[in-house]
Amino acid sequence: MAESPTPGFIEFARWATEVENDDLTFAGISYFATDHVLFPDLELALPGAPQNPEFDLVATFFSREKQAIVRVLGQNVRAFRVLDEGGLVDLWVASKERPRPGRTTFRVRGHGWQQESELEWVMGAPPDGYSYMVATRWQCLEMICYDPPHITIEAASVRRPS
């Protein structure tokens, strides 16, 4: 059995990605997008809704370094939250004492959300109790999921101010 986090002691671990130290900007998120809802006696269609049967969370970012669109694709995401950086002061204080392994993508455990919503970690996180974090200058995405999210990088249209 994996060791549990020490309450009140925030720990960081590496989440090795192609963008782990990029300057990302958050662009949007879609969770459990589907094109229909089933009820016992009827089905309601949602025209135009995006559908991706393989991933239940799709977050879109822009990478300044790569001048590209970065998509974070999560499978079986138990819970997630998007906060501005001010909502994560405990993480930033802890990372000054114990630097996190990546500026942008990393794993974390032992913080306030984990203490407040312990059941989410028991039911959805890996045995080591870490969640996955994508930190930007303004918004941060945290996901509780058993397997690491996938990262895709796509070309973006680049324009320079004149």
DSSP secondary structure string for all residues of 116-140: HTHHHHHHHS-TT--EEEEE-SSEE
pLDDT of 36 > 80? The answer is no
pLDDT score recorded for residue 162: 77
Confidence (pTM): 0.83
59: in domain: yes
With cut-offs at 50, 70 and 90, classify the pLDDT of residue 2.
very low
CA dist., res. 143 & res. 141, Å (int): 7
How many domains does the chain divide into? Answer: 1
What is the pLDDT, as a whole number, of residue 7? 54
**Domain presence at residue 73:** yes
Asked whether residue 2 is assigned to any structural domain, the reply reads: no
Query: Is position 16 within any domain?
Result: yes
Closest CA to 67 of 161, 162, 159: 159
Residue 6 belongs to a domain: no
CA distances from 6 to 27, 76, 88 (A): 34, 26, 18
- Name the pLDDT band for 53 (thresholds 50, 70, 90): low
- pLDDT at position 1 is 37
Are 51 and 139 in contact by the 8 Å Cβ rule? The answer is no
Is residue 57 within 8 Å of 143, Cβ to Cβ? yes
Residue at 75 is within a domain: yes
d(CA 60, CA 89): 24
What are the residue ranges of helices labelled H in the chain? Answer: 89-97, 112-116, 118-124
**Quick check: is 119 in a domain?**
yes
Residue range of the domain that includes 48: 11-155
If you average pLDDT over every residue of the chain, what do you get? 86
**12/131 Cα distance (integer angstroms):** 10
Cα separation of 104 and 45, whole Å?
38
CA atoms 97, 117, 102, 158: torsion sign:
negative
List pLDDT tens digits, range 61-75.
Answer: 999 999 999 999 998
